[in-house]
A and B are shown apart, each in its own frame.
Chain A
């Protein structure tokens, strides 16, 4: 929503519901006041008629604000347990706005070593030109965190579980350390969503989402979001979003709003399926190692239990025989689709080194634990027995 000077403000209807299943359906929006339509209309409009010069009903131009996008923002804020959300045309547009709103030339930021490759490219190849210094460290290591925050930093940006290594960062500890250092804590919660992890409750200042993944969940849109409980931060983000024109479009916003409705159901099933598949792969003689935060064998299992409600949809593993065996596996699966995405209803299989993390420098990949043979599986909503049968036949090839 926009005020008279086009400054977007909060949009959230009070959320009276206790459980996420209910909030995902009803939180943050209200039925269409004109017709009673149960679904928010798709406001495919650029401009809004103004009753008189200088007067408007909250919207003037869809780059500044759009009622369908506002409805999505209300819902996203509600599911993260926050007051404010802004929606963006992509996840990287959200990261861009975050950086432009909080940083100026000469500023420094600290990020998890194993963040999404596109985040690394943005910081190292785009923002570095504007004098932003970015240090990538192993945020799962508390000593490394303490050391990195000794120098001034504007924010600490973490992704937990890390993609694709699934290393966890202790959010409560990161919040504590960044607060002491005078830095904000930003958590990319794309991989778990508020259905499985609630970073704002653990002390984070801003949650970032690529809504392209689990939030929309059907592989049908690209989008991003920044969610916060801090009104002042929200104002800054909304100002930059309008200034650079990075707002989500009406139609993908509406599709995302529809996708969120089944989020709690989907995430519970993704996790249950991933656990079954992880147990199968862990005991398979051809699998050299496997990382899944929901398994007792996962090195940070205790931390996973503390800050996540379950293991999530992602697992990483390496097949005996290195890169070649990995290629053979990926070309032999039939049900799992080879794709550069995660978080869809379909199971997707990825080779990060050649696909999603190609822009990350090799030394950084090695340091982050992204080995050349690592295979990432985003477990979908298929029946897990069908998935296991598919992986089983592919591992025999």
Chain B
């Protein structure tokens, strides 16, 4: 501080941000930028990275708030509070990956019990449910969760957990969150919603009656392709204690450095998803008009079968769009001909990506379940980033044109 005329110490009160009571009324963009509390003694605006394994104890049998980073770490606690706050929830636990979070979730179900899962889930989730859980004596049934009656019929007293995605990945089917929450509560089962596709800026499932929100923080929450992480978010104190117990017992908590990167990424969450949402709407409209496109899967389009339910429970449609071309070779060529869309698994980053889920993110679905659960082979999934939308549409146009020329050349060659 310089030598001003205001005296040596014009600001005697440490100016740290402590506004828990204001937090409830803050708007989302403000919540993204400001962390709930900052008790750092140096008032550092960017929170410290507590890259430490252990914490000194006051005496041999007394523990401070933290003792060992597997059990708890201040940087991780901060990101957990921030995720909970954005979901409008009480508690969150952060994990080393989305799958580590889902694994902890399934630990709430004991041997001899059952899980009902949506029949259009991420391939990695299906792999866990199908190849790991049966070994522990947990039964899994896949149900079309867009049909509330089908879920009701599938319930029995052994069912402890219903796990859904809405919009689902990659076919963007919409489940009625409020109705499923009622059905689950009547049956005494927990309802978990994977909210990775929309982020809390657009959908807050806990406010719709859900028990647990699941996140792959790798996606929109982080948004910069630099963190692999996950989270479970709840309002119930005991449920959070059970999850935190799992986090510690199995050692799957998010590392301090990744927690810090995630905190940094989430500062622009609202800004990013608003832009991505707007660009995705334009791209979905472009795709629906394109003659090479057979069908567009995007809940923001009025002709999407789940459009009305989606709009009743969400404030945005998200940045992931799937489409089919009717021909797996054409789809493949489109994927490979784009220049701005990186061919990559995952979604939700600032950079646009494109993929053929059947061969990529959903290739881990076991052969036996393929026919029922795998996305169509010609389905292309794009995740719209924050590039200029005209650049993105131009890139897709040239990719379609190139794919069409190659197809023409191939048919000409075959005719000869």
Contact = CB atoms under 8 A, between A and B. Distances in A.
The answer on A and B forming one complex is: yes
B267 A261 contact: no
Interface string B374-416: 0000000000011110110000000000000000000000000
B391 A383 contact: no
Contact of A331 (B13, B26, B28, B388): B13
Nearest to B16: A337
A202 interface: no
Interface string A315-352: 00000000100010011001101111100111010010
Interface string B337-379: 0001010100001110000000000000000000000000000
B256 to A, nearest CB: 15
B30 A335 contact: yes
A219 interface: yes
Given A38-B351, A354-B5, A355-B2, A386 B30 contact: yes
A38 B349 CA distance: 11
A264 B271 CA distance: 11
A266 B268 contact: yes
B351 A265 contact: no
B308 to A, nearest CB: 28
B388 A22 contact: yes
A262 B268 contact: yes
A357 interface: yes
Of the four ranges (under 10, 10 to 19, 20 to 34, 35 or more), the interface on chain A belongs to: 35 or more
A381 B15 contact: no
* B contact face: mostly helix, strand, loop, or mixed: loop
Contacts, number: 142
A220 B46 contact: yes
A25 B340 CA distance: 10
Contact of B1 (A330, A340, A385): A340
Contacts of A382: 26-27, 29-30, 33-34
B4 A354 contact: yes
B386 A262 contact: yes
Nearest to B352: A25
Contact of B271 (A340, A381, A387): A381
A39 interface: yes
B336 to A, nearest CB: 14
B70 interface: no
A342 to B, nearest CB: 12
B33 A38 contact: no
A76 B228 CA distance: 27
B19 A334 contact: yes
Contacts of A258: 224, 226
Given A19-B387, A351-B4, A372-B5, A334 B22 contact: yes
Contacts of A262: 268, 271-272, 350, 386
A346 B33 CA distance: 6
A38 to B, nearest CB: 5
B13 A383 contact: no
A18 B391 contact: yes
A356 interface: yes
Given A261-B350, A262-B350, A381-B267, A358 B2 contact: yes
Of the four ranges (under 10, 10 to 19, 20 to 34, 35 or more), the interface on chain B belongs to: 35 or more
Given A21-B387, A25-B386, A339 B11 contact: no
B69 to A, nearest CB: 21
Contact of A26 (B5, B27, B387): B387
- Looking at B10, B46, B342, B390, the one whose CB has the most chain A CB atoms below 10 A away is B10
A358 B271 CA distance: 35
Contacts of B272: 262, 265
A359 B1 CA distance: 10
A335 B34 contact: yes
A22 B30 contact: no
Interface string A239-274: 000000000000000010010011011100100000
Nearest to A21: B388
B192 to A, nearest CB: 30
B350 A218 contact: no
A383 B226 CA distance: 26
B34 A327 contact: no
Contacts of B15: 337-339
A351 B19 CA distance: 23
B30 A383 contact: yes
A24 to B, nearest CB: 8
Contacts of A385: 27
B97 to A, nearest CB: 17
A386 B386 contact: no
B391 A19 contact: yes
A39 B28 CA distance: 28
B237 interface: no
B275 A265 contact: yes
Given A220-B46, A335-B34, A345-B33, A323 B27 contact: no
B264 interface: yes
Interface in B202-235: 224-226
A289 interface: no
Contacts of B386: 21, 25, 261-262, 264-265
A266 B225 CA distance: 18
B271 A265 contact: yes
B99 interface: no
Contacts of B17: 334-335, 337
A117 interface: yes
Interface in B1-50: 1-6, 10-11, 13, 15, 17, 19, 22, 26-30, 32-34, 45-46
A187 interface: no
A317 to B, nearest CB: 17
Given A21-B388, A331-B13, A355 B4 contact: yes
A357 B2 contact: yes
Given A346-B45, A353-B4, A355-B1, A25 B271 contact: no
A313 to B, nearest CB: 13
- Looking at B6, B30, B342, B385, the one whose CB has the most chain A CB atoms below 10 A away is B30
A263 to B, nearest CB: 10
A338 B28 contact: no
Contacts of B11: 330-331, 338
Given A220-B46, A334-B19, A17 B391 contact: yes
Nearest to A338: B15
A96 B382 CA distance: 46
B351 A25 contact: yes
Given A39-B226, A265-B272, A381-B271, 4 more contacts: A22-B387, A261-B224, A354-B1, A381-B29
13 contacts: A17-B391, A18-B388, A22-B340, A38-B225, A220-B264, A331-B13, A338-B15, A351-B10, A353-B4, A354-B1, A355-B1, A380-B33, A383-B29
The list of the 5 closest CB pairs from A to B, nearest first, reads: A358-B2, A354-B4, A19-B388, A383-B27, A382-B30
